[in-house]
Structure 1
Amino acid sequence: MSGIRILEVAEHTFVPAAAGILADWGAEVIKVEHVERGDAMRGLGTTAGIPVGAGGVNILLEHANRGKRSIGLDLTRPEGLDVLHKLVATCDVFLTNKLPAVRTKLHIDVDDIRAHNPDIVYVRGTGYGSHGPDIDQGGYDSLAYWARAGNALSVKPPEIDYVPNQPAPALGDSIGAMFIAGGISAALLHRERTGEAKVVDVSLLATGMWAMSAAIGMGLQTGVEWGQLLYSMGGPKNPLVGNFRTSDDKWLSFSMLQGFAYWPDMCRVLGHPEWIDDPRFGDAQTLFENGEEARALVAGVLASKPSAYWQVELRKQRGQWAPIQTTLEVAEDPMAEANGYVLEAQSSAGTPFKLVTTPVQFDDEPCPPGRSPDFNEHGDDILRELGLDEDAIIALKIAGAVA
């Protein structure tokens, strides 16, 4: 993405993380922040109890704002808006998560921006979409992606009387950000091929529905809600699909979809070759019919030894499985280490910390993450690049238009 210049008027995680991905891919990203407080994410360490690590590193801020430049602008002032318009004229992409009413108030909607650069790709990241009754309703990923899109209820077992919360901060935001980054890339290619600049829309609701698309489709096909369909199937028919506890209270996940094809290998690995000729499990049909009984046998053996033992033994058979890991364990997973899925970065204060890299790699190399900018760290430099002299910059500061 080298040579692509992106102007971001957004905060929190969903939309900023998309620009962060593109920054890791080589784009230049200018982040426009509120003239006084900056991105709201900067204050969440104190206002919302978001954990801040050693050296004051705010991982959520770093995750979404890697590799950017920052300028503080007051877009409610004509002078600040004029600076924005000057920046628009120099950029390939304008990216925002502001609600429609706010975009209108700030004069940053599609027509406003394209009046200063008709060739710019205009990108909106929203909670619920750009049409319909709730377009002016704010939506975090815990609401639009997790709750409203059907994810939350679909993972609720019937025996519990509460709905599970989203399992990680910025889960839907991070997934949606990849769609925005992909949409921007496609729009830039379209502009290069046709000369036409597109408007790109991605919502958290659409992202959540896409993540649930197979389950939604099955529900529409059967007329049964996925959560009910899932738990109405009764016990597992395939004994080699599911999660199994080991003796050290860890878990292994099996996904051997053609269960009978892997059954002989598994019987040998588990130390029970006699199960291969057991008439209860003699062919695919009988194994399916006696799946609960077979699963109980498998679970009993797996529960007799620790996870580390089974992770060695299971490599001796062909079926698909994985350890169920914590976030700390996956960060040290040998495959994550070998592929550079977690790399070290450094804060503006020089504090080292680790970040997960973007999933896309080019030429077998991970994209090393840049650091998040300090608030308005590059403000004066950006203004000078627009041709403003020191007197003009001071005048803007006195007027409160820039930080």
Structure 2
Amino acid sequence: MTAVMQGVRVLEVAEHTFVPAASALLADWGADVIKIEHVERGDAMRGLAASGTVDIPSDVHVLFEHSNRGKRSLALDLTSPEGLDIVYKLAATADVFLTNKLPLVRTKLKVTLDDIRAQNPNIIYVRGTGQGERGPEADRGAYDYLAFWMRSGAALGATAADAAVVNGPPGPGFGDSIGALTIAGGIMGALFHRERTGEATTVDVSLLSAGLYTMGQAVALSMLTKKPWQGPPSGHRSNPLVGSYQTKDGRSLAFSCLQAGLYWGPACAAIGRPELATDPRFADHGALMANKMEASEILAAEFASRDLDEWKERLADFPGQWTVVQHTLEAAADAQSIANGYVQELENAAGVPFHLSAAPVQFNEEAHHPRRAPDFNEHAEEILGELGLDFDAVLDLKVRGIVA
């Protein structure tokens, strides 16, 4: 594996998913990530027992593993002078300081930009927030469900205009994980800039900014047309060969043939209705678009007449763009996912096997194999020993509750 971040040390004072998942990616790519956790409870994610309608199995906390794989854990009382001193000493050895603490909390804990830069003027200082570092809500926390999904326009864009309820995100940590990718990219850019110029920068990413960029094309169109972006009404089709169709066995096929006129003939052949290719209603692109609902109804009826497996065979040589609509287990077992190492198997600290989605960026055509997340305070002696503290000094810190 090409460890492009080897030799980079990241000091993380953060919890939940959005910000920790960013340093987990850097750990996948070779960085040494030291995770500072609350001295008593640890990262709040360790205590999360459910996500949405799904209980998290007790034998392996995969949500915590997703955002904390490959790190080292040290649990400190940051409100104590001794705990803060340890953070400062670690900051002096680090390339990146990463936090999701709100401005007032950073000030209270004395881990502001000025505090950390006083220990290491060359450190990259990274903040992940809900709505941004500035503005009237800078000190207001948020979750990806709110700031990324609901506030950015993504939720309404994913909801049919005639729906009674706004759709929620498609999975836990959806916006968090996209935001984490954004933070990780920002950190790598800041490190590159420092390498070239010697200047240490700050990096700021918010869930709202990540959501707005993810919705960037829709936002741009809305600003241009002065109309808010909204999902189309149920059953709407702008093109008979764009969208999904249900099969006889209740599965779905999705098509994205933007050049409908080009692919209409092959589609008619695939469904066993070649005569439709020359039907005056659909004979060219203009006619097809003028009668798109009739064409869509014909396709819907045909697709509903056969099971998915038969359609896979019939569409195998279809030159247009299509796919089976897959659930998460099928996506993980997809031949392309397996061939490219997109999902990896590993074991947690207790030896329980589980799977994680791998870092989506590969270097030198190699899939990255994530390492497990740390147990709570697992690396305390190791990290403190690197700072020069001997056994008796570490024991004293533990007895006084400064280190877990």
Q: TM-score, normalised by structure 1?
A: 0.96
- SS of alignment partner, residue 56 of structure 1: coil
State the Cα distance separating 1:120 from its structure 2 match.
Answer: 0.3
Task: Return 5+ residue gaps in structure 1 as ranges.
Answer: none
The corresponding residue for 1:116 is 119
The corresponding residue for 1:200 is 203
Which residues of 2 match residues 288-327 of structure 1 at below 5 A?
Answer: 288-327=289-328
Which residues of 2 match residues 4-403 of structure 1 at below 5 A?
Answer: 4-45=8-49, 51-53=55-57, 56-227=59-230, 230-231=232-233, 235-403=236-404
C-alpha distance in 1, partners of 2:345/2:161?
42
C-alpha distance in 2, partners of 1:287/1:190?
52
State the Cα distance separating 1:278 from its structure 2 match.
Answer: 0.8
State the Cα distance separating 1:272 from its structure 2 match.
Answer: 1.0
C-alpha distance in 1, partners of 2:340/2:309?
22
After TM superposition, the structure 1 stretch with the greater mean CA deviation from structure 2, 158-167 or 32-41, is 158-167
Residue type matched to 1:45 in 2? A
TM-aligned CA distance change 1:204 to 1:256, over 3 Å: same
State the Cα distance separating 1:353 from its structure 2 match.
Answer: 0.7
Structure with the higher fraction of residues in helix conformation: 1
C-alpha distance in 2, partners of 1:85/1:50?
40
Cα deviation, 1:146-172, whole Å, max 9, x if unaligned, reads 111111122222333211222210000
C-alpha distance in 1, partners of 2:378/2:192?
31
C-alpha distance in 2, partners of 1:86/1:313?
64
C-alpha distance in 2, partners of 1:46/1:358?
24
State the Cα distance separating 1:52 from its structure 2 match.
Answer: 2.8
C-alpha distance in 2, partners of 1:161/1:108?
45
Cα deviation, 1:123-177, whole Å, max 9, x if unaligned, reads 0000000110001111100010011111112222233321122221000000100
Q: Aligned residue pairs: how many?
A: 400
Q: Is the 8 A contact 1:122 1:199 kept in 2?
A: yes
Task: Return 5+ residue gaps in structure 2 as ranges.
Answer: none
State the Cα distance separating 1:46 from its structure 2 match.
Answer: 7.0
C-alpha distance in 1, partners of 2:52/2:175?
19
Cα deviation, 1:340-390, whole Å, max 9, x if unaligned, reads 111101100111111111111111111001100000000011101100112
Q: Is the 8 A contact 2:162 2:233 kept in 1?
A: no
Q: Is the 8 A contact 1:51 1:58 kept in 2?
A: no
C-alpha distance in 2, partners of 1:378/1:49?
34
C-alpha distance in 1, partners of 2:50/2:132?
31
State the Cα distance separating 1:48 from its structure 2 match.
Answer: 8.7
C-alpha distance in 2, partners of 1:50/1:161?
24
Q: TM-score, normalised by structure 2?
A: 0.96
TM-aligned CA distance change 1:46 to 1:298, over 3 Å: closer
